[in-house]
Amino acid sequence: MQLLLITGPAGVGKSTLSWEMSAQLAAAEVAHAVIETDELDRVFPRPSAEELEEIRPGTIDVSSINLAAIWSTYRPLGHTRLIMSGVMMHLDFDRRWILAAIPEAQITVVRMLATEPTLLARLAQREIGSGAEEQAQRSLRQARRMANEDGEGAIILPTDGKAPAELAGIILQKTGWLNIGQERD
């Protein structure tokens, strides 16, 4: 089971890249699934550790439970490729909860980067209202932290000046996902 984990600061283009990769894979008739990690834990109130323990002993994150539930549908349908996107500030922790949900996953991390002016311009296109400035500052903090983290084993993807289709093509070629031909696997 191959999993592409698309990471980067908020607003860098993770969702757009995931959708574009999905479109290119579909055009090549390559079976796959796409999940945005934000949707795995969008719940209020957040479940307590005790509640999670009752549902699935040893689980510390509701995202893992929900990912396992979704994958339990996709796997029997024959899917072996999954694109997941999310900020992923703590890759070691994130790998653990993902592997708790899908133990057979071979995770390839793609870390998207953008210069601060590019990131702010992208955020300005999507963020409106009273929280826009707070989101911009949070995204800049995320970008700075990620720029200083070890990206060992990750595919680093600078995005400035590149269209989503070009970026998707780069990743799908680097991972070999488009070299599969017309098979469903």
Whether 182 is in a domain gets the answer no
pLDDT at 183: 44
Cβ-count burial 126-142 (b if 16+ within 10 Å, e if not) = ebeeeeeeebbebbbeb
- Domain of residue 50, residue span: 2-175
Whether 98 is in a domain gets the answer yes
Whether 64 is in a domain gets the answer yes
Whether 153 is in a domain gets the answer yes
Radius of gyration, alpha carbons of the chain: 17
Distance CA 153, CA 157 (A): 13
Average pLDDT per block of 10 residues along the chain, 185 residues long: 95 95 96 95 92 89 94 95 93 91 96 92 81 86 84 88 96 88 44
Distance CA 76, CA 170 (A): 29
Q: Is the pTM of this model over 0.75?
A: yes
- Express each pLDDT in 77-87 by its tens digit: 999 999 999 99
pLDDT at 133: 85
What CATH number has the domain bearing residue 94?
A: 3.40.50.300
Whether 33 is in a domain gets the answer yes
Domain count, the chain: 1
pLDDT at 180: 57
Distance CA 79, CA 168 (A): 20
pLDDT at 184: 42
Contact 14, 161 (CB under 8 A): no
Whether 180 is in a domain gets the answer no
Whether 162 is in a domain gets the answer yes
